[in-house]
Amino acid sequence: MAVAAPTSEPLAPRQTREVRRGDRVFRGLTLGSGLLILILIVAIATFLVWKAIPAFRISGLHFFTEKGWFPDAKPAKFGVAAIAFGTVLSSVIALILVVPVAIGAALALTELAPRRLGTVGGYVMDVLAAVPSVVYGLWGVFFLVPKLIPPQRWLSVHASFIPLFQNKSNTFGRSVFAASVVLAIMVLPIVAAIAREVFRQVPRAHREAALALGATRWETIRMAVLPPSRSGVVGAVMLGLGRALGETIAVALVLAATFNINLRVLEPGGNTIAANIATKFGEAGIVGREALIASGLVLFAITLAVNMAARAVVYRSTRIAEGKV
C-alpha cells in the first residue's frame, strides 16, 4: 500500500504577515540592543576623556611616566606609571596561577568525574563567583596573608635566582604576590565555568571516535576535546584577565599601598589603578579627582585593549580550527 508523501501547506497571508512582523520586531530589538551597548561605551569614554583633560593639562606627558601620586600638592605631581604597572603585574600573575587550576578543574568535572558529581562540583565552584569582593578582601587580610608568609619566605630562599622572587627587605605580608593569589581565587569560578561549558559543547562523537581508535583518556582530551575548545578557552582566560584588571576592594585591602615600580613581588607594597581610585577618591580635592578620573581612563583603555586582543585571538583560533588560515 503506497503512502502519500507529506506535503507542507503554504502559510496563509495573515500568518505570513505575522511571521514577517515578528522577524522585524526581533531584528529591531537585537539591532537596538547592539547599538545601545556601543552608545554606552562611547558615552563612558567621552565622559572619561572630558573629565580627564584638566589633569592631562596639569601633568602633561609626565602623567604616563611619573610614579608618585600627589595631585593636590603645590605644585601637583602625579602619574600612573606605578599603579598601571602594579595593575598589569598583579593581574598577569593571577592569570598564571589560575589558568592551570581552572582548566584542570573544568576538565575534571566534564571528562573525568561522574555526571552527578560533575554537576554538583560545578554548582559549588560557581558559588565562589557570588562571594562579594569585600569578603575576599577581609578573608585575604586576616587569613590568607599570614598563611602565605611561609611560602613567600621559602620562595625568597630557594628561588631567589629569579628576580621576581627576590626580597631584599626580608619582610613578608601584604605584597603583590598575596594580592595576585586573592585575584586568582576570585577569577577562578569565571574561567572554570566558561571553560566547563565550552568543553561540554564538544560533540560526544569526537570523544567516542578517539576512544574507539585506542586513545587513552588523556589522549582523547588532548586530541578530541582541547583543539575545538581553543577559542572558547582563550575567551574565558581573557574575560578572567579583564575581571582581575578591574578588581578594587579586595586588592585595596590586601595591598599595602605604595607608589613604586618593583618587580620583586614578595616585598610588601604595590598598588593598582582601581584600588587607588577606591582609596583616594573620598579625600581627593578637585585636581585629585580629575587625576583619578584620568587614571580610570587609562584603566578603561587597558581593558578595552585586552578585550580587542582577545577578540582577535578568538577569531584567529576559530579560523584555524575551520581550516581557513
Instruction: Give the tens place of pLDDT for each residue, 273-310.
Output: 888 888 888 888 888 899 999 999 999 998 888 888 87
- How much is the pLDDT for 50? 93
Mean pLDDT over 139-168 rounds to 88
How many CB atoms sit inside 10 A of residue 253's CB? 23
Quote the number of domains for the chain. Answer: 1
Cell of 142: 586576616
- At 325, is the pLDDT very low, low, confident or very high (cuts 50, 70, 90)? low
Max avg pLDDT among 12-26, 28-42, 204-218, 250-264: 28-42
Residue 315: inside a domain? yes
Which CATH number fits the domain that encloses residue 242?
A: 1.10.3720.10
- How much is the pLDDT for 202? 85
Residues 274 and 303: beta-carbon distance below 8 Å: no
Residues 11 and 19: beta-carbon distance below 8 Å: yes
Residue 291: inside a domain? no
Residue 67: inside a domain? no
Residue 213: inside a domain? yes
**What gap in Å lies between CA 162 and CA 156, rounded to an integer?**
9
**What gap in Å lies between CA 125 and CA 243, rounded to an integer?**
17
- How much is the pLDDT for 260? 85
Residue whose C-alpha is closest to residue 205's, from 224, 188, 218, 182: 224
How many CB atoms sit inside 10 A of residue 75's CB? 6
Residues 83 and 271: beta-carbon distance below 8 Å: yes
The count of residues in the chain is 325
Residue numbers of the domain that contains 179:
81-285+298-321
Cell of 304: 578595552
Q: Give the whole-number percent of the chain exceeding pLDDT 70.
A: 91
In the numeric block, the cell 578595552 is attached to 304
Residue 14: inside a domain? no
Residue 26: inside a domain? no
**What gap in Å lies between CA 323 and CA 118, rounded to an integer?**
33
- How much is the pLDDT for 1? 46
Fill in the DSSP letter of residue 73: S
Residue 53: inside a domain? no
**What gap in Å lies between CA 50 and CA 253, rounded to an integer?**
30
Beta pairing partners, 175? 268
Instruction: Give the tens place of pLDDT for each residue, 10-64.
Output: 555 555 655 577 778 888 899 999 899 999 989 999 999 999 999 888 888 888 8
Instruction: Give the tens place of pLDDT for each residue, 67-111.
Output: 888 888 888 888 899 999 999 999 999 999 999 999 999 998 888
Residue whose C-alpha is closest to residue 227's, from 122, 124, 317: 317
Residue 244: inside a domain? yes
Angle subtended at Cα 12 by Cα 7 and Cα 15, rounded to the nearest 5 degrees: 115
- Burial (CB count <10 Å: 0-12, 13-18, 19+), residue 321: middle
**What gap in Å lies between CA 106 and CA 112, rounded to an integer?**
10
- Look at 180 and 13; give whichever has higher pLDDT: 180
**What gap in Å lies between CA 276 and CA 99, rounded to an integer?**
26
Mean pLDDT over 172-194 rounds to 89
